Amino acid sequence: MRAIQFSLTRVSRADGRTRNSKMAADGGRSALPCTFSPKSQQFLALCAQDGRLRIWNTDSKTLQQEYVPSAHLSAACTCVTWGPSRAVQDVPQRKRRKCDAGSAPEMSDLLALGTAAGSVLIYSTVKGDLHCTLEGGHSGPVNSVQWHPEDSVLYSGSDDTHIAEWDLQTGTVRCKWKADRSAVSSLCISPDGKLLLSAGMTIKMWNLETKQVYRKFTGHSTMVTTLCFATTRPPDSNGMYFLSGAAHDRLLSVWQVRSDGKDKNSVVSFTLTDEPQHIDLQTSNCKDEPVRLAVVCKDGQLHLFEHFLNGPCKKPLSPVCSLQVSTMKGDSPVPVPLLAAALCADRQNLMLAYGHHLQPVMEKTPFNTSERHTCLVRDVHGTLSLSVDTAVSKVKTPVVNKQSKVLVPGLPGHKAPIRLTPNEAEKRKKEDSTTEMSIEERLEQIELSVGGREAGKGTSSLQTDSFAVLLVQGLESNDQRILTKIFQTKKEILIKNTVARLPPQAVLPLLEELSRRLQGHPFAALLIVQWFKAVLTQHTSYLSSLPDLVSQLGSIYHMIESRVKLYQQLTRLHGKLYLLMTQVATNNSANNVGNISHKAKLVYEEESSDEDEDSRDEGRPDDDSDNWEEDEAAMELTEDTKNHKDEEDDEEEDMNDESKANGDSDLDPENESEEE
């Protein structure tokens, strides 16, 4: 019988009380927190994907209450847990209505909801409304919420790596401390309320009085999602045990808290068919009393365990009984996933919740451990017609008369949509069928040829969309003609945009087709490599999420590795050959230069005209030697005259200086003329 993949929900119980469940990712979907009410399992609290809290009555199989938080879309519920069975002496005074001041509800009537915004909501099933809101404790999503068994204290763990201790009397944070380097994914309090277990990648046990680490346990390689105490005995007697489960782990580990500190390894392991989704536990009070465990796995199966915790056990333990719910679809049974399961107080019956989260089917059924495998065949579709308690539900259906006219919002003028007559519909259908083009015509219009001209932005966008559609059609129909024309594209931008518009389910078939074509002609590999580069660049996140990525890309890796194996040696050989050919070419050019003849092969003499000769004669000096001598004598005479003039100027300057020294410079011009 095949298993149905269902989203992961972690819920565990300690000392007969269900503990919180946490959201986790599974193939793009998130888990739905759900938990049964303690002891009687009369109610089932389930948080849907739309953020609504629905409380179902397991006795009447009806929807008891429905609550929609104000920020249910932006801050969805991440975990939910019921309060312990005791009365509330002091309730938070802040953010509470005046009419509720005198009410004192039971703790078992309260629900603690952790949200993705970091706040904690306290919901009262008695009032059917929010009791109070705890804010300001975390900066990240709340992953786990735990009630203290005795005091009015609440503990919460968040993605911000901190644990917050809330005082329910004042609605404020009493204490807050850093628990781990990674996110705090799970919490659990010991039955006596003195110890607190927290888990991320490692498990730590805290002393709540001193807020110090009491013990530390390591053994899981992934995020721990489940923590639950299995016994009520104190740690001093070496009888305290707790179990833990992790994501992608098919084993539940049981740890013993020893007084001597030798508790580094798990003592017992329970084997599962898949990772745990929901856990319910009936604790052991003494060594002679076994621990009963009901585990709902991710594949939708339920496994029951029963074991005496008296020390280590070497071999992993198998379930004493496995249960599966299925429904008939035609002649073959189809599995129905289980949402949650709880062990009843009589230890003979099980409370099951299975089906869809919007309308789960709740059933109380006995179990027989003598049968290793049990399959319950149920008519789920017939059972889903559950009645809703209209007295409590706040959902109202409007009453519409025949004479009233319904206006459709969003249309111009709030008019009803136009309805075509049968003749007009057939006519439009024929027109659409005649105008529809075949794949061959579309190939011709978008010009898939290699040497096509570049179009504008609008045309390129349309061409990219057509390429992506045709590529998907070619991969689905295995049409080699379409694929060959598409893979002949050399435009890098067009290849990149086409690959980016492909849906994720077409990535692996495209890689298989590219790897097949890569093994062909080497010239075809030049174009295929560009498509490989675009696929690995655009769809890296999707490929990294595939579990069998190694097997999918192994052949491609080995093929590329074999082709580039000799690349380094070929590069060295190419360098040596290039150097050798360069030397040969240099020697040949040198020999050619040495053989060059220096004798002119052609001499050209230009004939000069008479005018050119006259112009040359005018600028040319005469050949008579007498003229040269006369010019030299004239030049010497000019130089002597210049030197004599300079000497006279010097004598006049000396005389002026002497006259200035004797005071002759003060004479009038008339006296100067008389003296002359």
pLDDT in tens, 26-78: 333 346 888 998 878 889 999 877 778 899 998 888 888 888 887 666 678 88
Helices 522-538/480-487 angle, 10° precision: 80
Residue 86 main-chain phi, psi, to 5 deg: -165, 165
Helices 507-518/457-477 angle, 10° precision: 80
Over residues 203-218, the pLDDT tens digits come to 999 999 999 999 899 8
Q: Would the pLDDT of 245 be above 90?
A: yes
Average pLDDT over residues 651-660: 57
- The pLDDT score that the predictor gives to residue 164 is 95
- The pLDDT score that the predictor gives to residue 16 is 36
Over residues 137-161, the pLDDT tens digits come to 899 999 999 999 888 899 999 999 9
Q: Would the pLDDT of 301 be above 70?
A: yes
Higher-pLDDT residue of 523, 500: 500
Residue 96 main-chain phi, psi, to 5 deg: -130, 145
Buried b (16+ CB within 10 A) or exposed e, 64-92: bbbbebeebeebbbbbbbbbbbeebeebb
Q: Which two tokens stand for residue 467?
A: 């390429």
| DSSP for residue 380 | H
Q: For residues 197 and 205, is the Cβ–Cβ distance under 8 A?
A: yes
Residue 69 main-chain phi, psi, to 5 deg: -65, 155
Residue 324 main-chain phi, psi, to 5 deg: -140, 140
Single-letter amino acid code for the residue at 661: A
Q: For residues 47 and 80, is the Cβ–Cβ distance under 8 A?
A: yes
Long-range contacts of 545-549 (CB under 8 A, 24+ apart): 546/508
CA gap 233, 611 in Å, rounded: 135
Q: Would the pLDDT of 410 be above 50?
A: no
Neighbours of 234 (CB within 10 A): 16
Q: What is the greatest pairwise CA distance in the chain?
A: 164
Residue 72 main-chain phi, psi, to 5 deg: -70, -20
Q: For residues 306 and 293, is the Cβ–Cβ distance under 8 A?
A: yes
Q: For residues 107 and 139, is the Cβ–Cβ distance under 8 A?
A: no
Over residues 118-143, the pLDDT tens digits come to 999 999 988 888 888 999 889 999 99
**Model pTM score:** 0.54
Over residues 329-349, the pLDDT tens digits come to 878 888 898 999 999 888 888
DSSP characters over 537-568 = HHTHHHHHT-TTHHHHHHHHHHHHHHHSTTHH
- The pLDDT score that the predictor gives to residue 440 is 62
- The pLDDT score that the predictor gives to residue 17 is 37
Residue with tokens 């006279």: 648
Non-local CB neighbours of 112 within 8 Å, separated by 6+ positions:
20, 80, 81, 83, 120, 121, 122, 123, 145, 147, 154
Residue with tokens 């039955």: 191
CA gap 370, 426 in Å, rounded: 65
CA gap 214, 83 in Å, rounded: 26
